[in-house]
Chains A and B, each alone.
Chain A
Amino acid sequence: AQSVSQHNHHVILSEAASLELGCNYSYGGTVNLFWYVQYPGQHLQLLLKYFSGDPLVKGIKGFEAEFIKSKFSFNLRKPSVQWSDTAEYFCAAEMDSSYKLIFGSGTRLLVRP
């Protein structure tokens, strides 16, 4: 079955620490990949997306993600987190042009000042 897995459910970091959140998908065909962020009490907002081309994509607020096809992964990274990055992060995939977005279970990030 098509699915998206996020390995870390909770991550706690201090400000200025580097961040990497894991995301894997299970599908052998064409995928479009997304990272969304949900700040406390708010709706989901798009951080970045990958459709094709350069596998290293840059998004808003200093986030980037790398698509590694051989590993079925799309990990999110940020070199130096801020307290304001405290939020829940969701990886999502659209598989084989199905127009159906499947989300991972989310990773709650807490950044301590």
Chain B
Amino acid sequence: DARVTQTPRHKVTEMGQEVTMRCQPILGHNTVFWYRQTMMQGLELLAYFRNRAPLDDSGMPKDRFSAEMPDATLATLKIQPSEPRDSAVYFCASGLVGQGSNTEAFFGQGTRLTVV
């Protein structure tokens, strides 16, 4: 059963610490999305990649957030330094986009981040 895997599922950290969230997209998918979900803002698109290249990261605070895809099986979202306002659930999603296929994003279980 193919699924998007995110680690860790939960993370509590102190303000100022570095946080790294990881995502393993579904094998063969060429597009990866990072979303942040909060009560106030809903689902915000932070960044997305196609074939490991960043297509749009305009939704991401550049000074502290960074997103990368070191290889096709791993996407990372890093916050350094973390702040209490970063507390949220971070979802990774992957999809297969291209000729003969359609954009449908499959979501991971999310990482619930709490910054104290």
Write the residues of chain A forming the contact surface with B, with a CB cutoff of 8 angstroms.
Answer: 32, 34, 36, 42-46, 49, 51, 90, 92, 94, 99-106
Task: List 24 contacting pairs A-B, 8 Å CB cutoff, sorted by A.
Answer: A32-B103, A43-B91, A43-B107, A43-B108, A44-B93, A45-B107, A46-B105, A46-B106, A49-B104, A90-B43, A94-B103, A99-B31, A99-B50, A99-B55, A99-B97, A99-B103, A100-B55, A101-B45, A101-B93, A101-B103, A103-B35, A103-B45, A104-B42, A106-B43
The 7 lowest CB-CB distance pairs between A and B, nearest first, are A103-B43, A105-B42, A44-B107, A43-B107, A99-B97, A43-B109, A94-B103
B73 to chain A, nearest CB (A): 19
| Cβ B107 vs Cβ A101 within 8 A | no
Interface size on B, as a range, is 20 to 34
Chain B 72-106, CB within 8 Å of chain A: the 1/0 string? 00000000000000000001010101000011111
List the B side residues contacting A44 at CB < 8 Å.
91, 93, 107
Which applies to chain B's interface (DSSP): helix, strand, loop or mixed?
A: strand
Write the residues of chain B forming the contact surface with A, with a CB cutoff of 8 angstroms.
Answer: 31, 33, 35, 42-43, 45, 48, 50, 55-56, 91, 93, 95, 97, 102-110
| Cβ B105 vs Cβ A101 within 8 A | yes
Which applies to chain A's interface (DSSP): helix, strand, loop or mixed?
A: strand
List the B side residues contacting A32 at CB < 8 Å.
102-103
List the A side residues contacting B109 at CB < 8 Å.
42-43
List the A side residues contacting B103 at CB < 8 Å.
32, 94, 99, 101
Give the docked Cα–Cα distance between A69 and B40 (Å). 30
B75 to chain A, nearest CB (A): 15
| Cβ A51 vs Cβ B102 within 8 A | yes
